[in-house]
Amino acid sequence: MCVTALAAFAVTIIFRTSTTANFAQGAISAYGCYVVADLLNKRGIPVYLGVFAGVLVGIAIGVFIDLLVFRKGRHVNELGKQIITMGFVSLFFGGIPLVFGTPERIPFEAFYNTVKAGTSPNFVIPAFGGEIVITKHAVICLGITVVVLAVLFLLLKHSKWGLGVRATASSEFTAELMGIDTHVITAISWALACALGVLAAVMYAGGGTSISAAFMTTIQVNAFLACILGGFSTFYGPVIGAVLIPLAASCVGFLANFKGFYGISRWQMVIVYVLLLIAILIKPEGLFGKKTLKKV
Amino acid sequence: MDIRQEYLNAAYPQGEKKNLGGNIRAAFANPIAQIALVGVVLALVQFLALGGAISSAFAYALGNTLIYAIVAIGFCLLLGYSGLASLGTAGFIGLGSYVAFYLIEGMGAPYFVALLVTLAVSIAIGVIVGFISLRIEGIYLAIMTLALAEIIRSLLMVLKATIKINIKNIVLFGVNVNEKAVYLLIAATFVILMMLTSNLIRSPVGRAMLAMKDSTSASQAMGISLMKYRLLAFVISTIYAAMGGLLYMMYVRNMTTATSTLLTLSTSLNILGAVIIGGAKSLWGTTFGTFIIYGLQSMFLSKIQFFVDNPAFITMITGLLIIVVVMFFPGGFAQMLSSLRGWLRRKRVERRIRDYVDIQN
């Protein structure tokens, strides 16, 4: 849920400033995650430094992509830009095995085990006559996500950079006329998005998932759907969408506890996606989106 | 004679004596003839492979690529001619393959029954997507079709984990056929669909779609029914994709739903990429793009030892190629070719005019 929220925010910020859906989000995140994993496992660097380095790599990749490709490719139409990001997907999918060798592994097992060591990995809260089990990993992730997103939203709302982003998002051309350096704004957005992506990937992998070049694809698909559900026209919509989708999934899963709904957990994602489809058909601009009027 | 007439004569020479070469060239200016010629060549590949002149692995890879080419032509009609972006291609392919599995393996139905059912199912799905496309547009539509593909994928995963068709069960014209015959079927399907599509895009329907792509408002004002043509575009492209899935199942005959890359986003993106780098408005360009994305690796590069040792390089090269083509040639290879042709013609005209001026002096 936290991972999807971060990824959804990353997708939105690029979509708003560069008018493209970044399909390479997952691949870039995976790349950063590999960097972190290598630093952790081979060099024995502490986790926090490792994540910091991974985020730096993400920033570097983001700025690199923006400077080298998107600044030059402004005349390329909207669809073309998406194809370019798709090209990056291939590039990273090919690059990751070349740079990091073995394609699949569980990188944070050691880290995960040290967190587990000594204390129980879970918090157990007695409630509703039963017990709710929450892993410490989930709590840490939730904490990081809330802090990061809170800081970002405050920056968006109150800083000069945030104003620049919002202006660029509503109209790049006008923003440029108003003296905003849109080049810098888009570069920062790319850097931010990629950094968030790396953070999300590390958090996801920290849960004990094995990583591969494509391990973020599911998260990315869900992030896209969250963006559509929440509406691209606001920054908070996608984040709420990202919370809603897993929530709906667990609600459907919860139904399986009742009689007569026993087999429903197999159909969990199908039901959630169908609900999503219906929601979009009823409100095409997203739950929090604004209607855009078209002039002829 | 005035200078303008002279110029026109020089630039566009008329009434040149037609020789045999000219006649042949005129005959093959007809797109249907071109497609038929390619079909003959494609069929020849299989017979040469049977004779041992070409490795059968090459023929097999070619057949595989042709399946994707069939899907890509349908997508070309959707993207290049109707301006509708879809990321649901993988789901539609999956649909076709599962219909093939249940009918051919489960019920022992012959090919043509499976084909008819595939058509019916894909028309139904196409209509649904078409109606969605009336509500939302652009990237939103693309992501919604992605959601639809995910629905289909999850559905298929619940239904059956691994699907397999026994080669003995594939019946065509009342006889059991092996994969070599399925290759010919693929080639035939490719040729027929190519002919149909190339006729369609030059028909009023194709023109209406083009108008719709350039401006929905203007085309509606001209009396083009948005609903009719959007539904039609989605139905056609879904049919092509589902037929690709059907043929894939008959050709490869084995798929594990959870791990198969055929059903994931990457297939949809690869088809999109093939259409874009080939040139979204050109059928031959699209076919060529498919060969770049799918065929290059399996048919040619897999022979070179370096790439066998480092398959990751191929993926990287494909990615780089896509980025470079889109950045510098937004119209794809088709545009590259036509601008090259234009440049050559301009050079030729310049030379003729220079000669003419020289003679006058």
d(CA B78, CA B209): 9
- For residue B141, list chain A residues with Cβ-Cβ distance below 8 A: none
Structure tokens at A135: 């892993």
Given this model, what pLDDT does residue B168 score?
65
- Judged by average pLDDT, the poorest of B58-62, B71-75, B254-258 is B254-258
CB contact, 8 Å: A244 with chain B? no
Q: What is the pLDDT of residues B288-305, one digit of tens each?
A: 888 888 877 777 666 666
Task: Please state the three-class secondary structure of A96-116 as a single string.
Answer: HHHHHCCCCECCCHHHHHHHH
**ipTM, two decimals:** 0.74
Q: Which of A225, A270, A278 to substitute to test the interface with B, most B CBs within 10 Å?
A: A270
Q: Which of B281, B315, B329 to substitute to test the interface with A, most A CBs within 10 Å?
A: B315
- For residue A276, list chain B residues with Cβ-Cβ distance below 8 A: 147
Map tokens 């093959």 to a residue: B28
User: Which residues make beta-bridge pairs with B162?
Assistant: B256
Do residues B87 and B145 lie in contact, with contact meaning Cβ atoms separated by under 8 Å?
yes
Residues B90-105 have a mean pLDDT of 84
- The helix or strand, by DSSP H or E, that contains position B231, with its residue range, turns out to be helix B226-252
- The answer to whether residue A176 scores a pLDDT higher than 50 is yes
Cross-chain Cβ contact B265/A267 below 8 Å: no
Q: What is the pLDDT of residues A82-96, one digit of tens each?
A: 778 878 887 887 777
Q: What is the pLDDT of residues A65-80, one digit of tens each?
A: 888 777 776 666 777 7
- The answer to whether residue B64 scores a pLDDT higher than 80 is yes
- The answer to whether residue A28 scores a pLDDT higher than 80 is yes
Q: What is the pLDDT of residues A114-167, one digit of tens each?
A: 454 444 455 555 555 555 666 667 777 788 788 888 888 888 888 888 888 888
Alpha-helical segments (H) within B136-254: 138-159, 179-201, 204-214, 216-221, 226-252
d(CA B262, CA B256): 10
Given this model, what pLDDT does residue B255 score?
73
d(CA B161, CA B57): 28
d(CA B171, CA B189): 16
Cross-chain Cβ contact A83/B276 below 8 Å: yes
d(CA A38, CA A57): 13
CB contact, 8 Å: B222 with chain A? no
d(CA B85, CA B87): 7
Percent of chain B whose predicted confidence (pLDDT) is above 90: 0
Structure tokens at B100: 């093939």
d(CA B163, CA B101): 7
DSSP tag of A123 = E
Q: What residue in B sits closest to A294 (Cα-Cα)?
A: B217
Alpha-helical segments (H) within A159-230: 160-170, 172-177, 182-206, 217-230
Q: Which of B133, B137, B150 to substitute to test the interface with A, most A CBs within 10 Å?
A: B150
Q: How far is CA B67 from the centre of its chain?
A: 9
Domain residue ranges in chain A: 2-215
d(CA B28, CA B337): 18
- The answer to whether residue B17 scores a pLDDT higher than 60 is no
CB contact, 8 Å: B272 with chain A? yes
CB contact, 8 Å: B45 with chain A? no
CB contact, 8 Å: A31 with chain B? no
User: Which residue from B147, B317, B327 is facing A76, i.e. has the nearest CB?
Assistant: B327
Cross-chain Cβ contact B320/A87 below 8 Å: yes
Structure tokens at B220: 């509606």
Q: What is the pLDDT of residues B146-188, one digit of tens each?
A: 888 888 888 887 777 677 776 666 666 666 667 677 888 888 8
d(CA B155, CA A266): 9
CB contact, 8 Å: B337 with chain A? no
- The helix or strand, by DSSP H or E, that contains position A259, with its residue range, turns out to be none
- The answer to whether residue A109 scores a pLDDT higher than 60 is no
Of B75 and B269, the one with more pLDDT: B75
Domain B31-309, CATH: 1.10.3470
